[in-house]
Structure 1
Amino acid sequence: MARPPHNGPTDRELTLLKLLWRDGPSTVKHLHSVFPLRPKPAYTSLQTNLQGMLEKRYVTRQADQQAHIYAPALSQAEVERGAVHDLIRRVFDGSALRLFTTALTDEQASAEELSQLQALLNDRRD
């Protein structure tokens, strides 16, 4: 059975983007050395992933003297917004309220996060 089309980065692509956001422009060698998931994928697999991400315009690539250097073409905020919009559309039938209600009733928010959320809501009201 074919996988459904994916809006936004796959899990591995997201892991690579997070490393690039954290460490800045990097070579495949560096990304492979710091890749956090186990088992660690082969170097050539990451190279293939980065090539696909280049085609999708998730990253840019510059040729150095000996290696290609990859940099994120998307900001963390852009990816987060896209993921939230996709989640609201696909899972919560377009209802941001249902997303927030689910998140808050599952007691996953700390008192500090609830306070920050209340401040955001108050700002939006003004």
Structure 2
Amino acid sequence: MSQPLPKPTTAELELLQALWPLGAATVKQVHEAMLAERPELAYGTVLRLMQIMHGKGLLIRDESQRSHTYAPAQAKDAMQTNLLQDLLQRAFSGSAKALMLAALRNGISKKEREEIEQLLKEDKQ
């Protein structure tokens, strides 16, 4: 059985959020994507972070071209599921109900509430 991937740090998760829509990308492409949210972010910082993430197994690196490309080792949905399972166990003693109630109490928009109600109605049918 393969070793589970390490949980990403906040900075690593932010980088993954920029990389997932790109699929595979160079450091330069990821840096440019992240500049919209963090204009002060240096290219060297992104490069070092991506190298660390590759070493941890969070990114896959393709070295076949002059500019190496990186891709997430795990799809966004799979990563979110793993992080959610970890949060569920650590913070809510495995209770999905407790997690949902906490999420609902801590501010959701009317539109989000309607979407949740619609999903619950569809699930009943």
Pairwise CA distance, 1:26: 1.1
Q: Which amino acid aligns with 1:75?
A: A
Can you list the C-alpha shifts for 1:47-90, whole angstroms capped at 9, x where unaligned? 22212222332221112432110111211111111221111111
Corresponding residue for residue 60 of structure 1:
60
The 1:87–1:41 alpha-carbon spacing in structure 2 relative to 1, beyond 3 Å, is: farther
Listed as ranges, the gaps of 5+ residues in structure 2 are 1-5
Structure 1 SS opposite 2:21: helix
Indicate conservation of the 8 Å contact 2:20/2:72, yes or no. Answer: yes
Q: Give the paired residue count.
A: 118
The 1:121–1:66 alpha-carbon spacing in structure 2 relative to 1, beyond 3 Å, is: same
Q: Which amino acid aligns with 2:69?
A: I
The 5-angstrom pairing of residues 45-124 of structure 1 reads: 45-106=45-106, 108-124=107-123
- Separation in 1, partners of 2:98, 2:39: 34
Corresponding residue for residue 17 of structure 2:
18
Structure 1 SS opposite 2:87: helix
- Separation in 2, partners of 1:76, 1:94: 22
- Percent identity, please: 31
Q: Which amino acid aligns with 1:33?
A: E
Corresponding residue for residue 40 of structure 1:
41
Pairwise CA distance, 1:110: 2.1
Can you list the C-alpha shifts for 1:82-108, whole angstroms capped at 9, x where unaligned? 2211111111222111111111123x2
Can you list the C-alpha shifts for 1:15-46, whole angstroms capped at 9, x where unaligned? 11111112231111222233232541451x32
**Runs of 4+ deviating beyond 3 Å:** 122-126
TM-score for both structures, normalised by structure 1 = 0.77
Listed as ranges, the gaps of 5+ residues in structure 1 are 1-6
Q: Which amino acid aligns with 1:100?
A: M
Q: Which amino acid aligns with 1:90?
A: R
Root-mean-square deviation (CA, aligned residues, Å) is 2.1
